[in-house]
Structures are given as structure tokens and as C-alpha cells.
Chain A
């Protein structure tokens, strides 16, 4: 860990364990005493909220797996059995299904927060990469979980998405056959999706561990984007942020419960209550809402292979975000021009989500193409240029200067010349 450990093991068992496996020390340093910037706003509570989401999904998911049957003839019926005959089965399934949506709500807010406050910039690039990997794992997991229900949308989503790989030149068809375990989406496909849907969350859990590790080395970014310079800038994680995160999680849980108990199917597609039928294609095949922006990008490109490239590219481009953004100022608050383009970017992402739910025809398709183009331009052109032409506002010298009345501790850490006033261009 980057900061000095303050753990004082009690004599006896505690000390004995600390000399052999300092697990209590690690817990103390990461969850209790971790020095955290004192100016974090509520957008910083989504890390805690996401941990809560992952735990909810894993716990409900393990119990659901005990009652679910991954077979094409029985999957749909076993889900109905969970809903009707398993004790609290309806609660488990609705929590798991709504939980997937809530997970994505939280992760998208978390990502937009990172983008606005420049949390991907040095020294947090690896933290950001791990986040993008988590997003990819979440998407794979959510997609396969949706297929397990074996409704019409499950089946046809699986067919459409796996068929994308057939666009790969030369080896496309063999890849798809290999993915399916046959010549169509069938029982082998369902079986392997179930196995992977159970596996990936634990892979995800591992990457979340790395993500938290990578957070604890440089420490949190914060709303002014000026790194912690002295002890005055920070507060111990516990009790300040445990309580703040706890409150935020409770608010989040209220919305979560509202959906689970009163509108459990609201985010779902009605067609998924029709059992999968390979002989009947639904009139509109629509993915879950959290995939809609990417679906819109896929359909915006007339060529199938390039569409697939654009769709995956729209996520993979995030890996390069730390280099596309040429500004050395982290926080959007101090970037008058970036701020506006950020708002437009959020709007374009939401707009792509809306267009993804509409049929790919007429004006919807045209708008989808404009928005898709803009999405990529944001990374490839707009971010590099505004970083060069924009004059950022003057940054405070330190977090404590920004939030405290008394002048900052001059005896604190000595900032290196460049980092001290990054708003000045070289």
C-alpha cells in the first residue's frame, strides 16, 4: 500500500497472525485507516455501491443456480418453478434480474464520473484499464445470464450476438460453430453459457480486487483533481467515508427495492416471457437496455464486419482514453470547454441508447449514424484538440486550500514543478 501502515496488532493472537499473514493489517489499511481526500462528492460513492451490487448478484445468483436447470427443454420451466414454488424464489430472481440493471446504472455513472474528473489520467491509468476490463466482464456475464432464462429474447439475442463473430473474415463460420458447440444456438450453447455465467463473476471479483489495489496505490482522485499533498487534505476512510458510502448505498437500495417489489419487469422485455422458439423470430430483437448504445453503434454501420469492429471498438477505445485526452488538468470543473463537450458526450451516449431500442430505419438510422460518428470523434478528435486549445481555470494549490478557510500547510509535501500548476501550458 502506498501509505504508511498504522496498524497496531494487539499482543497475542493478533500479533502472531500479523507476523505470519498480515491480513488484518491489510483490512485495517484499506478499509479503516485509508487516507481519503476530504472533498469527495457523492459521485465517489459508486465504488461502494458497485461492491454492494456485485455481492447481491453473487449471493442471489448462487442460490438461483441451485434451482435452475440449464437444458433447452427445462430452462424456461425451471425459471417459472423458481418464481412459483421455490421459497422466496420470486424475490431471488427479481432481485437478480433488477440487480443486473442496477449494476449497470451504477457502473455507467461511475465511468462518467471518472471521465468528467479525469480519473483515468496519470497515475491512475492501470486503475482505469482494470475498470474497462471489469465492464467487459460485466457485459459478458450479463449477456449470458440473460440467455439462461431461455425466453424468446434470450434465444434471439444469443443468436444475433454469437452470429456477429461470423463476420470475422475467413475464420468467422468455424468460430461461430465453436461458440455454439453445434450448428445453431442449442443445448450445448445454453450449457456453456451457464458454466461461464457462474465462472465470470468470480473472475470479475478478482479483477475488482486488483481495481481496489490499483486505487489504493495512488489513492483517490477528487473533484478538484489536485492530488493529495499533505495529511491535511485527507480523512481516514472510516468512519467518514464508510458512513457516507453507507448512506449512498441505502438511497441506492431504496430505488433498487422500488423496482424489485413494485416494477420487477419494467426493465425487461415482455417477449422474454415467451419460451424460446427457434422457428419464430420476434418482430423486434432488442437487447437489454444497458447494451442499447452499443447495439445502435453496431447497426449504424452498413457493413456487418465493420459494424462489429465499431461496436467492440466503442468499448476498446476506452483503453486509450488516457492518451486521447491531451489536457494535463484532471477535473472537468476547471476545464471550461471540455465541460460542454462532456455534456454533449453524455447526451450522445444516452441518445445512442434510445436509438438502439428503435427499429434501424428512416430517421432513427440516420441519427444513429450521426451519433455513432460523434461518439468516436469525441475520443479521436475532440478530446485531443480541446486539451490543446483550452485555457483551464486556475487550480487551487491543494485540496485543503480549496475546502479549508485557513491557508494550506506550507510544511507539507513539496510538489514538483510541473504538477504544481498543470493549468499552465508548457
Chain B
């Protein structure tokens, strides 16, 4: 018998690996604050009024440069979304000019949008978008809240606990938190010692802090008719919620069905466990 030596092997090994820590790699971690979202968590649902306000902000501010090419106007009336009425959706779609055709004469023609049309993007193509924006390409926002993440930024030995916490609490709002932080994170002046490139704007949360998009936010730029405060924070929250819905239009359905599936599976699991226990109690094993 070897007795203790293998404990020693294990201890030496642990001593070797414990020093791995954050900060060995270049680049700084930015702390993105966590917001409270109506659509977060296991029972999360969208707030229809907020989605409607967010859409208004998108339409009046963001849509000048950013498209939503994977959405159709009809989506705005769908269940689990902003739920505009049929007439409202028709009217909203009709505000857009759609290029259709060719007609019987072989010509392309313009017509007002219909609910079945996809959202018309502000620029005909990426090159046109770049020319209009000083070389920067405003990304399409259809899935933007899912296309942005936040690094965990915790030491390796606690990371697994964060995974368990995030999965158990259905935390999926990294992208929303980032987007909100970005929208409220503009600074008029770059901090001392930061050299800004031509046409760039300082943002606390954008990786590298230099973002081509100018600050789109200021108080009272969009009129809310339901008495909601017209502040930068409120706008940012509303438009982020709207874009979360745009990226995940079936979120409500998913969480609702998910709960039923979990309950069903839980009952099935308990029944199978009891059946198994009963069966195996008859024999020694």
C-alpha cells in the first residue's frame, strides 16, 4: 500500500493550478450593470405598453440608420409582441415605401407597404449605408440583443456557480443589459488622456470606448402620450425591450410552454422514480 503519497500528489497538483486567475490576458473587463426586465426570469413576459413605446422610439430615432430586416410589419400585431391593432399595423406598414415589381410592363414601381412586407431598411445596401455614416455600417437590429454578450469576468473557480445560477434563474438578458448600458453610456467629453479618433464618440460601455454612432439619446426627443417619463433611461429601457422582442418574438410563448413542459416532466420523473423504486425493492442490488 502506498498510504499517503497520492494525497501529496493531489495537493501538489492543486497548488500548481490554483494560481490561474483573471488578468493574465490583455484587455480590460467592463462591468455592465444588470437591469430588471419584465421579460427576464422563468415567468418573464413583455410589457405591451413598453414595446409600443420602444417601437415608437425605434421608428422615430433608430430607424433613420438601422433596419429590422427579419421582421414583417404584421409581426407588430402578433400576440406576445407590441400587439398593435390590425388598423394600426396597416397604417404603420403604409408609412413605408416598398419597391415592388416588375409589373406587366417590366418596370419596378413604388407602392405603400402592406402588413405582409418585411421592414424596409433605411439604406438600399451596405455601401450606401457606409457612405451616409462616415464609413461606419449601422448594424441591422433584428437580432442585436442576442448578438451582444457580456463576459462573466469572474475567477475560474467561481465561474461554474455563475453558470448554475444563470441557468437556474433563466438569466438570458446579457444582451439587453449591454444595449441599455450602451445607450445611456455616452459621455460628452472623453476622459483626460484618451485620444479620440476622427468622428468617434466616447462611450463607457462600448468595447474600446470609441463608437462611430453619435449619442442618439436626450430627454424629450420622442413624445410619449401615456404620461411615461421622457427620460434617457426610460427611452433606453423601452427601445431595448422592443429590440429584445424583435430578436425573440416567441419569448412569451416559449416561457409559457416551457413551464408546462417542466411541470409535465417533473410529474413524469417522480412517477418513474416511484415505479423504479417499487420494482427494485423486490430484489437485492
Contacts and interface: CB of A to CB of B under 8 A. Distances in A.
28 contacts: A38-B285, A39-B285, A80-B70, A90-B250, A240-B279, A243-B275, A243-B276, A246-B272, A254-B269, A257-B261, A258-B168, A260-B258, A262-B167, A262-B258, A274-B139, A337-B2, A337-B6, A340-B6, A343-B10, A351-B17, A359-B25, A359-B26, A361-B24, A363-B20, A364-B20, A390-B2, A391-B1, A403-B284
B249 A257 contact: no
Given A239-B279, A336-B2, A257 B262 contact: yes
B194 interface: no
| A interface secondary structure, majority | helix
Contacts of B70: 77, 80-81, 84
Nearest to B178: A270
B146 interface: yes
Interface string B263-278: 0011011001101100
Interface in B135-189: 139, 142-143, 146-149, 156, 159, 163, 166-168, 170-172, 174-175
B160 to A, nearest CB: 9
B257 interface: yes
B272 A243 contact: yes
Interface in B12-32: 13, 16-17, 19-21, 24-27
A94 B258 CA distance: 12
B157 to A, nearest CB: 10
Contacts of B21: 363
Interface string B35-59: 0000000100000000000000000
Contacts of A262: 42, 167, 170, 172, 255, 258
A265 interface: yes
A247 B279 CA distance: 12
Interface of A: 38-39, 77, 80-81, 83-84, 90-91, 94, 235, 239-240, 243-244, 246-247, 250-251, 253-254, 257-266, 269-271, 273-274, 283, 336-337, 340-341, 343-344, 347, 351, 354, 358-359, 361-364, 367, 370, 390-391, 403-405
A250 B254 CA distance: 20
B197 interface: no
Given A84-B249, A262-B170, A270-B147, 10 more contacts: A254-B266, A261-B261, A283-B207, A340-B6, A344-B10, A359-B26, A362-B24, A362-B26, A363-B19, A367-B17
Interface of B: 1-2, 6-7, 9-10, 13, 16-17, 19-21, 24-27, 42, 70-71, 75, 139, 142-143, 146-149, 156, 159, 163, 166-168, 170-172, 174-175, 207, 247, 249-250, 253-255, 257-259, 261-262, 265-266, 268-269, 272-273, 275-276, 279-280, 283-285
B147 A364 contact: no
B153 to A, nearest CB: 12
A393 to B, nearest CB: 10
A423 to B, nearest CB: 13
A125 B47 CA distance: 59
Contact of B10 (A243, A274, A340, A390): A340
- A251, A363, A370, A403, most chain B CB atoms within 10 A: A363
A271 B276 CA distance: 44
Contacts of B148: 270
Given A258-B167, A351-B17, A359-B25, A235 B273 contact: no
A343 B269 CA distance: 30
Given A80-B143, A336-B1, A337-B2, A250 B269 contact: yes
A111 to B, nearest CB: 20
In the A-B complex, the 5 residue pairs with the smallest Cβ-Cβ separation, listed nearest first, are: A261-B258, A270-B149, A262-B170, A363-B24, A273-B147
Contacts of A358: 24-25
A235 B283 contact: yes
Nearest to B285: A38
A244 B276 contact: yes
A236 B156 CA distance: 45
B203 to A, nearest CB: 17
Contacts of B262: 254, 257-258, 261
Contacts of B280: 240, 244
B17 A266 contact: no
Nearest to B139: A274
B6 A270 contact: no
A270 B171 CA distance: 14
A230 to B, nearest CB: 15
Given A235-B283, A240-B279, A254-B269, A263 B167 contact: yes
A362 B25 contact: yes
Nearest to B249: A84
Nearest to B258: A261
B146 A270 contact: yes
Contact of B143 (A273, A344, A362, A367): A273
A263 B172 contact: yes
Contact of B166 (A84, A251, A263): A263
Nearest to B42: A262
Contacts of A403: 284-285
Contacts of B142: 80
A354 B156 CA distance: 8
A24 to B, nearest CB: 24
Nearest to A371: B17
Contact of A247 (B20, B75, B170, B273): B273
A388 to B, nearest CB: 13
A296 to B, nearest CB: 12
A27 B265 CA distance: 28
A253 B265 contact: yes
Nearest to A406: B284
Nearest to B10: A340
Nearest to B142: A80
A247 B6 contact: no
